[in-house]
């Protein structure tokens, strides 16, 4: 009992000897001072307190949330208007096409321009036929050149193994190698011809035909709105519906006339470009084939140099990208 009393006194003495929290400067304070002289605790200004008992005020119309809702509403309304206008235009164009096929509606006709358009489409069909035949000729001739090259190698190999016929085998090997070299030159001329005609048919003419398709669509829309204007009630000339019909008619008439002018200009430039390109390519093809089959290797080489054609050997293997 006396021992426990002694321990309690020693603990009390140790607590008395320690410095107080307010007197130590280097101590880490965890807690609040309980003295009456300290100021009351104040919440920070950056975090405003909310009074849960106070009634909440609704958001103002200029709040970001309401602005976002308004923008979404406008976007949705614009999409609905776009779909509505597209549906009306599609219906009118489909009706106009059906009435034209049934002979119950008159279509706007530009005889001179439509004749030029039909001639252009016929020209493209014929050029595509030439392109298909030229590709077939190039493919077959490519196999001929490969066969001639293999035949030359076979003759050269037999010349080494047959001394009694070495002269004859070497003669045939050299002739086949000469034919192979000239055939490769002709293949380069054929590929250049095919590439140029392909660009003319599938890019240059197609670009003009795209404008022509837009012009034809504008013509159908113009005729559809023209028919609406003709069928409008004459006793209500100042009504909002009549004004809207007249406005749409003028708008589509302006678009139709603009595209018609664009088509006429594009077809004029296309015709000039087509004549220039085909003149060059036809001269190239004639000179190259004539020089090859007449055995005039010098004329064949000068023809390719005249048209700045790079020589490509069909039997050559492509090097790695490191070598290039």
pLDDT digits (tens, 9 = 90+) for 46-59: 444 444 444 444 44
> Does 79 reside within a domain?
no
> Does 193 reside within a domain?
yes
> Does 207 reside within a domain?
yes
Choose among 240, 270, 221, 249: nearest CA to 107: 221
Look up the CATH number of the domain holding residue 277.
Answer: 1.20.1270.60
> Does 201 reside within a domain?
yes
> Does 173 reside within a domain?
no
E runs forming strands in the chain = none
Give the three-state DSSP class for 102.
helix
* pTM score of the predicted model: 0.67
pLDDT tens digits, 212-262: 999 999 999 988 888 888 877 665 666 787 788 888 889 999 999 999 999
Choose among 97, 82, 105, 124: nearest CA to 216: 97
Domain of residue 293: give its range.
183-298
> Does 280 reside within a domain?
yes
Q: Could you tell me if 238 and 191 are in contact, meaning their C-beta atoms sit under 8 angstroms apart?
A: no
> Does 230 reside within a domain?
yes
pLDDT profile of the chain (324 residues), mean per 10: 50 55 46 43 46 47 54 69 77 80 82 94 96 96 95 93 91 93 94 96 94 93 86 68 84 93 95 95 95 91 87 50 34
Supply 105's token pair.
């509606």
> Does 210 reside within a domain?
yes
Count of domains observed in the chain: 1
Q: Could you tell me if 134 and 278 are in contact, meaning their C-beta atoms sit under 8 angstroms apart?
A: no
């Amino acid at each position: 009992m006396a021992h426990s009393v002694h321990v309690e006194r020693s603990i009390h003495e140790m607590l008395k000897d320690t410095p107080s929290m307010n007197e130590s400067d280097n101590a880490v304070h965890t807690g609040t001072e309980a003295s009456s002289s300290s100021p009351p605790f104040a919440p920070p200004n950056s975090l405003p307190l909310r009074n849960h008992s106070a009634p909440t005020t609704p958001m103002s119309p200029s709040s970001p949330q309401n602005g976002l809702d308004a923008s979404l509403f406008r976007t949705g309304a614009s999409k609905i208007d776009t779909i509505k206008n597209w549906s009306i235009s599609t219906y009118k164009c489909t009706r106009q096409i059906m009435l034209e096929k049934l002979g119950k509606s008159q279509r706007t006709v530009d005889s001179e321009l439509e004749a030029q358009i039909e001639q252009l489409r016929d020209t493209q069909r014929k050029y595509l036929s030439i392109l298909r035949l030229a590709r077939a000729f190039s493919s077959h001739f490519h196999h001929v050149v490969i066969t001639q090259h293999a035949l030359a190698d076979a003759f050269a190999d037999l010349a080494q193994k047959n001394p009694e016929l070495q002269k004859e085998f070497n003669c045939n090997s050299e002739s086949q190698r000469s034919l192979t070299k000239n055939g490769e030159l002709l293949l380069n001329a054929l590929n250049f011809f095919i590439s140029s005609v392909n660009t003319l048919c599938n890019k240059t003419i197609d670009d003009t035909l795209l404008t022509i398709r837009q012009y034809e669509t504008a013509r159908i829309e113009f005729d559809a709105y023209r028919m609406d204007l003709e069928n409008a009630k004459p006793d209500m000339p100042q009504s909002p519906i009549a004004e809207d019909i007249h406005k749409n008619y003028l708008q589509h008439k302006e678009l139709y006339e603009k595209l018609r002018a664009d088509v006429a200009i594009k077809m004029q430039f296309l015709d000039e470009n087509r004549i220039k390109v085909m003149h060059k390519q036809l001269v190239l093809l004639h000179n190259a084939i004539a020089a090859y089959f007449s055995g005039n290797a010098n004329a064949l080489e000068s023809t390719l140099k005249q048209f700045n054609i790079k020589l490509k050997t069909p039997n050559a293997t492509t090097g790695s990208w490191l070598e290039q």
